[in-house]
Structure 1
Amino acid sequence: MRILVTNCNTTVAMTEESCARARAAAGPGTEIVGLTPRWGPESAEGWVDSFLSAAAVLDLLRDLDEPFDAVVMAGFGEHGREGARELLGVPVVDITEAAAHLACLLGRRYGVVTTLERSCGQIEDSLLTAGVAQHCAAVVATGLGVLELADEPRVLAAVTAAGARARQAGAEVLVLGCAGMTRLMQTAAAELGMPVVDGVAAAVKLAESLVGLGLTTSRVGSYATPLSKRRSWSPPPDEPAAGPRAGEGRRPR
């Protein structure tokens, strides 16, 4: 079985970290392959980053030249999963949805610990779309940006403090709301005295289960194959790319 893990940003180190966690969770005989988008944000934090990330990931997935049995989308709360399910003929498992579903099997209510406050509403919307928002007690921010997650002692302290607030809000299970937090699962669980679910591991195990059961995305209704039509994924070669605007970096060409 081959499972593709797609990062939602262009930071290769985060792709590698997600793949390491995926391989640790995968069963014997499962091969994990990681891919990093060719363009997009270096970290996904907010609506602009998320929509840009979704387009970049879909661009990556449409050009796959290797066969995979399933795809894991390693971006917590990021957009794109519905489009990927339309695009691909194999199961697509989003780490947000996977973590929430497993958390619902472990306790009556769960909480999510994420990075910045600006990501909370986006995660809440993702959980609502997935049909699991009613079991979420709280989405709590640590105040740390995605690119700050390499400082493990600092991150653990922030995750533990945010997890305690989620527990006070009624959470019985904690979900790590960023793929960059995966290495903290066991330590955070010991500190908080409650089950902690890592989305990457959860998504890999669910993907393996779907493949093993011979199940894939329904083509009835919502995730029907995209209509055949002309789609432009980049400006024509003779059209100059627009320059950067305030608050933006230079756009890829």
Structure 2
Amino acid sequence: MRILVANVNTTESMTAAIAESARSVASKGTEIIGVTPRFGAESCEGNFESYLAAIAVMDAITSYSEPFDAVIQAGYGEHGREGLQELLAVPVVDITEAAASTAMYLGHKYSVVTTLDRTVPLIEDRLKLAGLDARCASVRASGMSVLELESDPERAVAAIVAQSREAVENDRAEVICLGCGGMAELEESVATATGVPIVDGVRAAVTIAEGLVRMRLTTSKIRTYATPRPKKITGWPLNS
């Protein structure tokens, strides 16, 4: 089984970290391929960058020349999953939805702890669109940018732990979802500080993708995610 894990930004080191996190839970025989878009922003923290990433990820995935069995979109609250599902028959798993759906097996209410406050509405919208918002206690911002997760990890962990504690103590969350692909590997630190289960979206997405492939399930092509109708598209960057 081969799973493509698509970073939504162009930072190669983050792609490597995300792919390594995915491999840590992948089953024997599952090959994880990290994919970095050839264009886009170095980090995604707003609507413009998210819409840009949606096109960049579609370009990167459709440009991949080898066969693959599933795709993971490793951006929290990002746009584009639906477009990928139109282009592909294989399962497409978004880490925002994977984390939230997994969290609901572990507790009554979950909270998401993410990066900057400006990303909170994007995550809230993605959870609402997916029908996963009813059991979301809160979406909290740590105040750390995506790139600071790499450049200042000690301060990032402290900020994420602080907001996770607030979510558990004040919002009554019973599970914490780490709201950024770049937060991989932080589960232990946050779990120790809060005493609740911590869900990383990348790892949750791997287990879901593997399960879908094993069950031989594919994306429905009847209505919503039917293959795009053939037509002339001017200036489209895909595969150009």
1:97 is displaced (CA, Å) by: 0.4
**2: distance between equivalents of 1:234 and 1:131?**
31
Q: How does 1:127-138 map to 2 (within 5 A)?
A: 127-138=127-138
Amino acid of the structure 2 residue aligned with 1:157: A
Aligned twin of 2:187: 185
**1: distance between equivalents of 2:27 and 2:100?**
21
- Contact 2:89–2:220 (8 Å) recurs in 1: no
Q: State the SS of the aligned residue for 1:28.
A: coil
Q: Can you list the C-alpha shifts for 1:16-65, whole angstroms capped at 9, x where unaligned?
A: 00000000010110000011000011100011110111111111122221
Higher relative contact order (CA 8 A, sep 6+): 2
1:154 is displaced (CA, Å) by: 1.0
Q: Can you list the C-alpha shifts for 1:226-246, whole angstroms capped at 9, x where unaligned?
A: 1111223547xxxxxxxxxxx
Amino acid of the structure 2 residue aligned with 1:70: A
Aligned twin of 1:240: none
Q: State the SS of the aligned residue for 2:186.
A: helix
Amino acid of the structure 2 residue aligned with 1:4: L
Aligned twin of 2:121: 121
**2: distance between equivalents of 1:124 and 1:14?**
24
Larger Rg: 1
TM superposition outliers: structure 1 runs of 4+ over 6 Å: none
**2: distance between equivalents of 1:148 and 1:64?**
30
TM-score, normalized by length of structure 1?
Answer: 0.91
TM-score, normalized by length of structure 2?
Answer: 0.96
Q: Note if 1:161 corresponds to 2:154.
A: no
Aligned twin of 2:174: 172
Amino acid of the structure 2 residue aligned with 1:72: I
Q: Can you list the C-alpha shifts for 1:113-164, whole angstroms capped at 9, x where unaligned?
A: 0000000000000001111011100000000000100222211110111101
**2: distance between equivalents of 1:177 and 1:233?**
34
Give me the CA root mean square deviation. Answer: 1.2
Aligned twin of 1:66: 66
1:219 is displaced (CA, Å) by: 1.1
1:170 is displaced (CA, Å) by: 1.8
**1: distance between equivalents of 2:154 and 2:130?**
32
Q: State the SS of the aligned residue for 2:42.
A: coil
Amino acid of the structure 2 residue aligned with 1:80: G
Amino acid of the structure 2 residue aligned with 1:20: E
- Contact 1:59–1:233 (8 Å) recurs in 2: no
Q: State the SS of the aligned residue for 2:24.
A: helix
Q: What is the number of residues matched between the two proteins?
A: 236
Aligned twin of 1:8: 8
Q: Note if 1:92 corresponds to 2:88.
A: no
**2: distance between equivalents of 1:106 and 1:50?**
29
Q: State the SS of the aligned residue for 1:42.
A: coil
Aligned twin of 1:227: 229
- Contact 2:111–2:176 (8 Å) recurs in 1: yes
Q: Note if 1:76 corresponds to 2:51.
A: no
Gaps of 5+ in 1: 236-252
Q: Can you list the C-alpha shifts for 1:186-229, whole angstroms capped at 9, x where unaligned?
A: 22111110000000000000000000011111112111111111
